Amino acid sequence: MGARGPRGKPRAKPRAKPRAASKFRRGRRRIRPMRSFLVSGEQPGPDIQDVDAEPHDPEAERISESQLTAEQRAAAARALAGENLFLTGAAGTGKSFLLRFLVQEFSQRHPGQVAVTASTGIAAAHLGGQTIHSFAGVGVGTAPLAKTLQQVQKSSAAVQRWKSTKVLVIDEISMIDGELLELLCGVARAVRKQSAPFGGLQVLFCGDFLQLPPVQERGKLARKFCFASAAWKKAGLDEGTVLLCQTVRQASDREFGKVLNELRVGHVSDEARTLLAKCHVGVKSQPKDGILPTKLYCLNKNVDAENAARLRQLPGAPQILRAHDLCPRNTTPAQMGLLDKKVPAELHLKVGAQVLHLRNEPNLGLVNGSRGIVEAFQDGKPLVRFDNGKTACIGVHKFTLGAGRNTLSRFQVPLKLGWALTVHKAQGMTLTRAELQMDDAFEAGQSYVALSRLTGTSGLWIRGASATNGVRAHEEVLRYYEAAEKKLRTKEVLVAECAQPSAAKERDGPGRPPRSPKPDFQAGISPSKSEHTAAAQTTTRKNCPDPDRNRQGDSRTTEEAETGSLAGRRFNRDFQCRCLTGHVVQGLARRLGYPSEDMVRHYRR
């Protein structure tokens, strides 16, 4: 008989201690089966860090405000003040860099309440986020709003994401059409139960509508751009458009940067043709260091065939580097697919393989997109010679996706085969060397996107038809940017004149009496909108809110005043300042010495 307790009952068998693996299964996170990230057949070491080239230091990746340009700092101030913004500009003006800075700052202010998304998987992977379709829970986003709402409300996770978010970031907004943006706005308002645009979320969009447009199905009508949607206008994104103009990527090659700006708007000058003709493979020799440029194709089938054929041509068996993943239990296949776009789960390499580096390594002079060639394998790690002359043994690095409890981590060598890429996949990347074949260009902005991946003509080769093949820009997009630039110029002139009253006084001449140090509304006489309207329609301006002009009996007409005289600018100040954002008005108030609260209340009324 078995052992019995003090009351004659059988003694219970002691429970076995749970193994470590079962602890992980019960907890929030699980470790996927250990997969060798060394050479196939070798056993991994007990500690991942033992094979890591360098420890992962999040602080080293932080972006400080001093790294931003002046226009980037101004845009960041507006975003951090709570404005809805659309960050745009030509390729290479630092849009993605600024966006990463803002994501960093917003994540500190609102931990776990910043949704970092993008229209494409590769763009989302670059930001460490997810696609907007995955975040919103809308599927492909083609169903009507009522049906989409039913789908979203069935997912408690999607509802919780919408409700817990304060800031919604969408990168590569140019590839989202107007119908999808309207759908997202409707879902946000319904789920969050707020009638404000996007349910009261602060939205931060980034992209360039003169790059690749939304992908449309064959036989379907062209989709409208999202800037033409009602959701865009209601969110104030026309006024919140920020045009970045200072080129960062092509700063060392001004001539190439000038050509890119022409191609962006669909103009091909003789200077552009002459410059690009010098880069044709029939004229320009290949690199002498043996590191071939990455080939950019328009079609996926050409890319797959190129990479597979190139790897097969190399002698010997491939070395297989498998990733090690750490992810939450509720990880979906779609999220793993995003991680695969960021860094491959399984990397096949041979000595002589052309590769792209997938991280920034300032100490080695490497950027995300640096070209290299595998020279050998040392202790299971590829030894790569890069196009900047540096040779490094590349170890495992940590890649993350998401934030907080939903963070996915992958430990993998930061390399991928780099013989060829599609232009769509290359959008958002910087390449040190590239060979373009644009014979199959089929989309507006495709040639411009391919060319603008380069930092200069020194790393550019062109094969087949001219790279200007198919260069064109959408007329609707050109009109949108022209209107945006006109608004910004008007605002800049107004801000400059309001912020420098002394300079305006000197231009007006010494005979003009000085302006009153305080406007009427500070003395409790706040002119109404009807008074302004009446003043605009009269030629004598007897009800003009400027007391100096009243005393002088200014009788100039509205047309004369609006042509540039100081009196006209003063008169129209109250109308034009209404379009200024709150923080701009506050800045003007500080410079002019007025109480900012009164000024904001007056001009926002």
Q: Which residues, at least 6 apart from 410, have a Cβ–Cβ distance to it below 8 Å?
A: 323, 324, 325, 326, 339, 342, 343, 345, 398, 399, 400, 401
Q: What is the mean pLDDT of the chain?
A: 75
**458-479 residues labelled b (16+ CB within 10 A) or e (exposed):** ebbbbeeebbbbbbbbbeebee
Q: Give the model's pLDDT for residue 173.
A: 93
Q: How confident is the model at residue 90 (pLDDT cuts 50, 70, 90)?
A: confident
Q: Give the model's pLDDT for residue 86.
A: 96
Q: How confident is the model at residue 307 (pLDDT cuts 50, 70, 90)?
A: confident
298/98: higher pLDDT: 98
Q: Give the model's pLDDT for residue 492.
A: 63
The rounded percent of the chain whose pLDDT value lies above 90 is 30
Mean pLDDT is lowest, of 16-30, 67-81, 363-377, 505-519, for: 16-30
Across the range 218-239, mean pLDDT stands at: 82
- pLDDT at residue 121 is higher than 90: no
Q: How confident is the model at residue 408 (pLDDT cuts 50, 70, 90)?
A: confident
Q: Give the model's pLDDT for residue 488.
A: 75
Across the range 295-304, mean pLDDT stands at: 85
- pLDDT at residue 181 is higher than 90: yes
Most confident of 13-22, 29-38, 95-104, 453-462: 95-104
Across the range 285-290, mean pLDDT stands at: 84
Domains of the chain: 63-244 (3.40.50.300), 254-468 (no CATH), 476-604 (no CATH)
Across the range 266-286, mean pLDDT stands at: 89
Across the range 590-594, mean pLDDT stands at: 50
- pLDDT at residue 502 is higher than 80: no
Q: How confident is the model at residue 165 (pLDDT cuts 50, 70, 90)?
A: very high
Q: Which residues, at least 6 apart from 371, have a Cβ–Cβ distance to it below 8 Å?
A: 291, 292, 293, 294, 354, 355, 356, 357, 386, 387, 418, 431, 432, 433
- pLDDT at residue 61 is higher than 90: no
Q: Give the model's pLDDT for residue 557.
A: 42
Q: Give the model's pLDDT for residue 410.
A: 93
- pLDDT at residue 579 is higher than 70: no
pLDDT in tens, 323-374: 999 988 888 888 888 888 788 899 999 999 989 888 877 678 776 778 789 9
- pLDDT at residue 114 is higher than 80: yes
- DSSP characters over 424-457: HHHTT--BSSEEEE-TT--STTHHHHHHTTBSSG
pTM: 0.60
Across the range 8-33, mean pLDDT stands at: 45
Question: Which of 120, 154, 107, 115 has the alpha carbon at shortest distance from 135?
Answer: 115
- pLDDT at residue 576 is higher than 50: no
Q: How confident is the model at residue 493 (pLDDT cuts 50, 70, 90)?
A: low
- pLDDT at residue 64 is higher than 80: yes
Q: Give the model's pLDDT for residue 495.
A: 59
49/291: higher pLDDT: 291
Question: Which of 559, 561, 581, 584 has the alpha carbon at shortest distance from 498?
Answer: 584
How many angstroms separate the CA atoms of 388 and 386, rounded?
Answer: 5
Across the range 418-444, mean pLDDT stands at: 83
Q: Which residues, at least 6 apart from 155, have a Cβ–Cβ distance to it below 8 Å?
A: 137
Q: Give the model's pLDDT for residue 497.
A: 61
DSSP assigned state of 44: P
Q: How confident is the model at residue 196 (pLDDT cuts 50, 70, 90)?
A: very high
- pLDDT at residue 571 is higher than 50: no
Most confident of 30-39, 260-269, 421-430, 505-514: 260-269
Cβ(37)–Cβ(323) below 8 Å: yes
203 forms bridges with which residues in the sheet? 168
- pLDDT at residue 545 is higher than 50: no
Across the range 165-183, mean pLDDT stands at: 93
How many angstroms separate the CA atoms of 421 and 419, rounded?
Answer: 7
- pLDDT at residue 390 is higher than 60: yes
The rounded percent of the chain whose pLDDT value lies above 70 is 67
